Structure 1
């Protein structure tokens, strides 16, 4: 049986142990509708102590529009030093298709910046050489609704580049499916799926470089803390990269963990155990 986790009252209990934070965004600092004031305050206070903050997000678009979205949600720029997104990693993966046709799945125009300057044609699957998934087409969709379309992709042996490995995300008071859930379906059908973002190493390596630039010297991974709300992406990614984790229980796992009631540290430890994450503590919401 896994040992119960350390109990902390806020990020302030951990701040002195870490020189930099790699923080998830959606579910930690906002819920897609509004920012979490206590999270923004916590990161501001951490930076006042000299710590550096790099946002690491599975948002399937480049960093620039994400920063604009954070501005609109009240996540102020004094809460972080830099940001790296799954969209940044995805652009590197799809650059090999320059001058060729790809089939886009996701909101039709929201992710236009993902393709800027890459000389790609967005077509139907009949002539495409790859499928690029940013999200499901609408927030009400489920992965199973795409099975018939996926059968055509599979018949043509199209690789899928999944720009958002998240399966689900908190959106206001709802939980909605993300691109990673469609990637899981396609992989289960026998399709080839290439994932960008967390928990895969390239996005962590890029975030780590940004943290070192912010600090101005090489960092010891023992002095770096990941913050996240997903076992599959944040906990697994932190474990594989070799950094500690502060787990946020009050997002996609809130109901099963009774995050805002009487959470059981043993239940949280059991949920996290398969990831093998080194857990520094847990909080329902990030706070100082």
Structure 2
């Protein structure tokens, strides 16, 4: 049964490392969340390691710049694992061919930065859909638009037998008070239409493999039973932790704020109903990371 806790320090002594989601936990897409920052700083001061594990389609360096912009200080984390890095590695190994049709905003072009850690990476060229060997999706062209605008392109892509590489499995995020579509929603639509989508972020294994490698690079390896995953998405953060057999702390005041009736803390009855409906069983739950 999921245990509701009042703060991270109540349970953090049980763990040597945290895998922490960013959006909805450490920042709201506009600015840092001060209580979350303080909790992570205190955890690191006690000797714990913090790996930010995010479904951002951006390379790690892009997320680092974003954190500075949002006001998340460097002493709140140790390293970062992004779905963008995991997906880029797959792309440069040729997972969807060399000629790709790119779906995303202009700011997402960092996805195509060279990846020097691979030997003999394939040469990627962005082309129109009718010339493509595969699709790379970092997010919608317009995150506020109806997803159905992509159906004509997806119908053609399915007829061509193109695979879609999804760089961000999130369905939605909340930028402040505004909810936006993510790449995961388009990948789900493409799959629903009969296409094949490839995922590299939470809840899928590749990003956890990357997170463990980044954690090990900080020092000695840490066993899974000494890692706590923190996030506000039951279908991504919590499902991924459960799949990896890692304990989890569900932030109820993020994406499921209304469903869990979270003000400062979640309503116990509402939380139980929501988790039952979602068939999810996080180890712990808290209103907001603090």
Q: TM-score range by the shorter chain?
A: over 0.9
Say whether the 8 Å CA contact 1:175–1:252 is kept in structure 2: no
Q: Identify the match of residue 141 of structure 1 among 134, 145, 149.
A: 145
Name the CA distance, whole Å, in 2 between partners of 1:37 and 1:236: 26
Aligned: 1:81 with 2:78: yes
Say whether the 8 Å CA contact 2:138–2:166 is kept in structure 1: yes
Greater mean deviation of Cα atoms: 113-122 or 131-140: 113-122
| Cα pair distance change 1:246/1:137, threshold 3 Å | same
Q: Identify the match of residue 154 of structure 1 among 158, 162, 167.
A: 158
The one-character-per-residue Cα deviations of 1:22-74 (angstroms, maximum 9, x if unpaired) are 00011111111111011111100100111100000000011001100001101
Q: What residue in structure 1 maps to residue 216 of structure 2?
A: 212
Tell me the secondary structure at the aligned position of residue 148 of structure 1: helix
Q: CA deviation at 1:139?
A: 2.4
Q: Compute the TM-score of the two structures, normalised by the length of structure 1.
A: 0.93
Q: Compute the TM-score of the two structures, normalised by the length of structure 2.
A: 0.92
Larger relative contact order (CA 8 Å, sep ≥ 6):
1
Name the CA distance, whole Å, in 1 between partners of 2:154 and 2:250: 34
Name the CA distance, whole Å, in 1 between partners of 2:79 and 2:246: 19
Q: Identify the match of residue 21 of structure 2 among 24, 48, 63.
A: 24
Say whether the 8 Å CA contact 1:60–1:164 is kept in structure 2: yes
Q: CA deviation at 1:264?
A: 2.5
| Cα pair distance change 1:277/1:217, threshold 3 Å | farther
Q: Identify the match of residue 111 of structure 1 among 105, 108, 111.
A: 108
Q: What residue in structure 2 maps to residue 224 of structure 1?
A: 227
The one-character-per-residue Cα deviations of 1:186-228 (angstroms, maximum 9, x if unpaired) are 00110010011110111112212222332x2232211110000
How many residue pairs are counted as aligned between the two chains? Answer: 281
Say whether the 8 Å CA contact 1:228–1:246 is kept in structure 2: yes
Aligned: 1:101 with 2:136: no
The one-character-per-residue Cα deviations of 1:111-162 (angstroms, maximum 9, x if unpaired) are 2221123632111100000011000111211222211121111111111001
Q: CA deviation at 1:247?
A: 0.5
